[in-house]
Structure 1
């Protein structure tokens, strides 16, 4: 019998513009942060490379500190780039992303805003031939009505619109992988938060 193997071979996590100044403006912002925290814990266990951006950092602030990006006890990103473009896929981030290798990747996108930066990032990745997962419990906008419209468009464009738990289990693919026990611990740790996040962000 063959050894258990992960279902997704080349995943990557993109975190779009989760910054201090957006806390009071974005619909259910804390829920987006919570889902991102779950993805970051999983990324440490599974060795998923992380890419993050800020939008006009000098004006709109740093990435939220509770994400712990590039902190000594947090997750080291492959790139943590400031931008003025709406898409995350700016040259500095592209360079770091392409340094991972020539393989097409399974990129999971979380952050804001669903109809602007998340949409344009997803379209750019799809055009490069990558498979893109947009997490319905991990994206939002200032106006909540924008979210389902954006997700419907991205689904039509070829992105996979799914949830954080579904994506993590698809990453693993087999309960026999070495990391499964740790991953099950992450799912259990975030169980209550996941229910709350789904109720808030996936009720459209």
Structure 2
């Protein structure tokens, strides 16, 4: 069986939230920017509930500013954003070490921009032997960049999924899904049908 054909296991996953910063968000159509922030925030909350580690990066914080406030507000206690000075996160030793330290081998990517930092990070992680998954509706780029980035990654062997698809692969069964909605206190982003 091809590696990309296997279901995504929460116990082996690491969520990477790449460069969701206000200076990048303003380059997007408003509805795309809102969707990315809401989906990333939701996935960060779901990941925390499922004990999936999250790693957050922000590109050149001194110039581009930190991760947008809505995502900083839901970062796990004790976690921090990495000041990313490369486009592909595997090119920076401290970030690659943080990823490796989780012990997880499935890297789930979200963030900005699909055809640059997300794609280069995905390709670098593949080279490092990770299984790589990109959440298409939790990423964006201006204009056609989103579609080009998804094609580039898929052609290289990255699994492309949706926030909804990832959620159901992570929770895996009906009882755990009911438990999530009864006990997590986490709502569902507008426009994301989970039923």
User: TM-score, structure 2 length as denominator?
Assistant: 0.83
Gaps of 5+ in 1: 1-5, 196-204
Change (3 A) 1:80 1:74: closer
1:176 CA displacement: 3.7
Cα deviation digits, residues 140-192 of structure 1 (max 9, x gap): 112x2111121111111000111011011111222344x75125777982253
Q: How far apart, CA to CA, are the structure 2 residues paired with 1:48 and 1:190?
A: 18
1:84 CA displacement: 1.8
Gaps of 5+ in 2: 1-7
Q: How far apart, CA to CA, are the structure 2 residues paired with 1:173 and 1:131?
A: 19
Matches within 5 A, 1:56-75: 56-68=60-72, 74-75=75-76
Q: How many residues align?
A: 183
Regions of 4+ moved over 4 Å: 183-188
Select which of 95, 98, 101 maps to 2:97.
95
Q: Give yes or no for contact 1:49–1:77 (8 Å, CA) kept in 2.
A: no
Aligned to 1:53: 57
Aligned to 1:43: 47
Cα deviation digits, residues 48-94 of structure 1 (max 9, x gap): 1011111111111111111135xxx6424655211221012221111
Cα deviation digits, residues 10-54 of structure 1 (max 9, x gap): 111001101122231124212100100110110111011011111
User: TM-score, structure 1 length as denominator?
Assistant: 0.80
Q: How far apart, CA to CA, are the structure 2 residues paired with 1:188 and 1:105?
A: 26
* Residue 31 of structure 1 pairs with residue 31 of structure 2: no
Q: How far apart, CA to CA, are the structure 2 residues paired with 1:97 and 1:188?
A: 26
